[in-house]
Structures are given as C-alpha cells and as structure tokens.
C-alpha cells in the first residue's frame, strides 16, 4: 500500500485492526519501516510490549530499539550492504573474468531478542 513509509498514516489502520481483533497473537510487517514503527502502533492500540508477537524484515536503529523495548520479536536480516555490493562485484567478475553470475542469499539470518545486540551497531551503519 501507499502508506508503507515512515509517516503516521498506518497508525489508524493498524490500530483499528488490532482493536477490532483483540485476539490477535502475531502481526507480520512487509518491511523495515513498518516494523520500526511497531512501538507506536502497539501503544496506539493500548497493547503492551510483548503482548503481540511482531515480526518482519530488515534491521535498522528503530528495529533495534523495538527489540530493546520488547516490542519486536523477530526479523529477517537481509544485510542491505551485501545486497548492494554483491551485484556490483558479480557484474565486475562477469565482465573482467567471464565468470557466471553470483547467487548469494543475504537474507538467511534471523535477529531475535537473544541476538539483536550483535547487529545493533552494524544496523546504525546500514550494514545489517
């Protein structure tokens, strides 16, 4: 949807969904911007940290703060630096060395409340 950005637009949509479905146990978010806003959504709906299992994709300083506060429980670490760097490396190797394109899965790792501190500093640098 158009409202996936950082702005406040999703707040009433997500809040209304949570209020209309009080039995919700988990919410998945399609991207890092929305996952980073989880504390705002949950507080607007009157929910407490950890009451709903919130999960999604990406890492960012906002998502790290969500882990610290107990709002975010799981995210897929897609390693954005590697997503940008590896295609360029692959193209260079194809042109210079005639190698086949690289196929590297940069999103195979998960960040959880138990390991988020490992990626916290790298998330600030947009490396993870």
Domains defined for the chain, CATH in brackets: 10-78+107-118 (3.40.50.2300)
Give the model's pLDDT for residue 1: 47
Q: What does each of the 128 residues of the chain score in pLDDT, given as a tens digit?
A: 454 455 567 888 999 999 999 999 999 998 888 999 999 999 999 999 999 999 999 999 999 999 999 999 999 988 878 888 999 999 999 999 999 999 988 876 899 999 999 999 988 887 77
Contacts 24+ apart (CB under 8 A), 119-124: 119/59, 119/64, 119/77, 120/64, 122/59, 123/59, 123/60, 123/61, 123/63, 123/64, 124/61, 124/64
Q: Look up the pTM and report it.
A: 0.81
Give the model's pLDDT for residue 31: 83
């Amino acid at each position: 949807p158009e409202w996936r950005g950082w702005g406040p637009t999703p707040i009433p949509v997500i809040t209304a969904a949570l209020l209309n479905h009080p039995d919700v146990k988990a919410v998945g978010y399609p991207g890092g911007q929305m996952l980073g806003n989880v504390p705002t959504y949950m507080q607007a709906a009157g929910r407490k940290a950890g009451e709903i299992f919130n999960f999604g994709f990406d890492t960012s300083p906002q998502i790290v703060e969500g882990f610290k506060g107990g709002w975010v429980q799981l995210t897929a670490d897609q390693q954005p630096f590697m997503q940008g760097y590896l295609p360029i490396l692959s193209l260079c190797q194809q042109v210079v060395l005639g190698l086949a394109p690289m196929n590297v899965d940069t999103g195979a790792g998960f960040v959880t409340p138990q390991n988020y501190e490992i990626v916290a500093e790298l998330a600030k640098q947009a490396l993870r």
